[in-house]
Amino acid sequence: MKRICLTVLGIFIWFMAAFSQSAGYDTSSYKPVRLKLDEADLVSGYYSQNGNHSAVTGGTGSEQLHDISNVIDLKFVKWDPTGTNQYHLDMEVGLDHHTAASQAYVSQTGASRAYGTRFYPSLNWSVQNGRGFTFGVGASFSTEYNYHSFGLNAVAGKTSRSQNTDITLRGQVFLDRVGLIYPSELAPSTAGSGSGYSTYTTASGQVIGSYGGDDHYTIPTSPRNTYAGSLTWSQVINRNMQVALLADFVGQNGLLSLPFHRVYFNDNSTEKIENLPDIRLKIPLGMRLNYFLGDKLVLRSYYRYYRDNWGIRSHTASLETPYKLSPFVSVAPFYRYYTQTASCYFAPYAAHKLTDTYYTSNYELSAMNTHYAGINLRFAPQKGLYIFDLIELRYGHYVQTTGLHGDNIAINFRFR
């Protein structure tokens, strides 16, 4: 234990020493250096899907969904006056809007509102010194009608002198609050805290909290916390090939089910809300390997193995093959294959036994194979295109063996 403590302390001092100031700089010629906008990206996407296994209606019913997403990402950079430290500030703001057919059925009558909006800004700051050490911190926030998330992260990394090897360690914490919205027929008559407090769900799906008969529109919440550590090691193999190994360890606790997901049991009369363990441990291990084949073709490959303590084992493999029509224009067909085993807590509609401790009919946790294929077009003319430095367009068609299928189209505009 003592040795571990001393080792951790040693690593911390090593990183701090890497960024410590040295005495003796002549500051008489000091000139403040302004933060400069280095890159600005706008990513817009439209995703549409349909299927027949909605978790809101217990593993049966429409999964039709349309989602529009927009993310603006601004990267600022500045050098300190000595020219040794480089500072990065990354500001991101995202706004998604969706309509989901199943959401209307939070209320049994189908009268709940079937749309929602999510807003998610984030801010990350980092510094890289002349010896290749990087240190950074960041915060993120995400809010929608029934879900709020606050995240913090810290990152430390080292790039080798030759810039052929890079190691990055990252820690992330997300402190979330899940809104306790129940199906209208299953809403508890009393909930919340304090005497005289109660909630009820109206036919339109509105959750109303009431203190002694005085109604107000507050949704009670329950915590969901996520703690994640990740290690990335990237290595240039030769002039044409580089590889990255990625390892995450993720722990979650709190309310990991969603209270408006229904479950129907095999006695054909019992209906409850989803119930899942309050702890989940996930270990995803990934690898990216990119190879420049000849002068015009690039092979971008990715593989991930995943397992968790809910019984899911999965493999993901993808290959993208950008072909360069010119140095600034590339066309890249891609294909992604994904497979997973079912969680031990999953059963389809009306298949759970009354004796089950944990139960869900959410097909995200079912056994499945998925195929995702499409094309990526990239235009990055040397002198730009109008006001853009880069335009990238991507389309993909998604199919699950559960019957769900969808289409995704996204575009990235970059300004400099």
Interaction of residue 176 with other proteins, rule CB under 8 A: yes
Q: Which positions from 228 through 267 interact with other proteins, judged by CB under 8 A?
A: 228, 230, 232, 234-248, 250, 252, 258, 260
- Give the C-alpha separation, 72 to 93, whole Å: 5
Q: Residues 6 or more apart from 171 whose CB is under 8 A from it?
A: 153, 154, 155, 228, 229, 230
CA atoms within 13 A on the CB side of 3: 0
Interaction of residue 359 with other proteins, rule CB under 8 A: no
Contact by Cβ (8 Å): 64, 100:
yes
Q: How many residues bind other proteins (CB under 8 A)?
A: 104
Interaction of residue 33 with other proteins, rule CB under 8 A: no
Contact by Cβ (8 Å): 157, 168:
yes
Residue 287 CB, nearest approach to other proteins (Å): 7
Tell me the residue length of the chain: 416
Interaction of residue 168 with other proteins, rule CB under 8 A: no
Residue 216 CB, nearest approach to other proteins (Å): 23
Q: Which of 58, 71, 156, 255 binds other proteins (CB under 8 A)?
A: 71
Separation of CA 60 from chain center: 26
Contact by Cβ (8 Å): 260, 253:
no
Residue 103 CB, nearest approach to other proteins (Å): 7
Phi-psi region of 39 (alpha: psi -120 to 50; beta: other; left: phi over 0): beta
Q: Which positions from 382 through 411 interact with other proteins, judged by CB under 8 A?
A: 392-394, 396, 398, 400, 404, 406, 408, 410-411
Q: Between 49 and 85, name the residue whose CB sits nearer to other proteins.
A: 49
Separation of CA 92 from chain center: 14
Stretch (H or E) spanning 271: strand 271-273
264 phi and psi angles, rounded to 5 deg? -105, 140
Structure tokens at 205: 């799906």
**Range in contact with other proteins (rule: CB under 8 A) among 3-11, 171-179, 215-223, 349-357:** 171-179
Stretch (H or E) spanning 10: helix 2-18
Q: Between 122 and 199, name the residue whose CB sits nearer to other proteins.
A: 122
Contact by Cβ (8 Å): 306, 321:
no
Q: Using the 8-state DSSP alphabet, how is residue 77 labeled?
A: E
Q: Between 352 and 394, name the residue whose CB sits nearer to other proteins.
A: 394
Q: Between 18 and 250, name the residue whose CB sits nearer to other proteins.
A: 250
353 phi and psi angles, rounded to 5 deg? -90, 150
Q: Which of 57, 126, 128, 149 binds other proteins (CB under 8 A)?
A: 149
Residue 24 CB, nearest approach to other proteins (Å): 30
Residue 189 CB, nearest approach to other proteins (Å): 24
Residue 115 CB, nearest approach to other proteins (Å): 10
- Cα Rg of the chain (Å, integer): 25
Q: Between 48 and 210, name the residue whose CB sits nearer to other proteins.
A: 48
Q: Which positions from 180 through 199 interact with other proteins, judged by CB under 8 A?
A: none
Interaction of residue 372 with other proteins, rule CB under 8 A: yes
Q: Which positions from 299 through 338 interact with other proteins, judged by CB under 8 A?
A: 300, 302-304, 306, 308, 310, 312, 314-316, 322, 324, 330, 332, 338
Nearest to 390 by CA among 400, 380, 399: 380
Residue 410 CB, nearest approach to other proteins (Å): 5
Q: Which of 15, 200, 211, 292 binds other proteins (CB under 8 A)?
A: 292
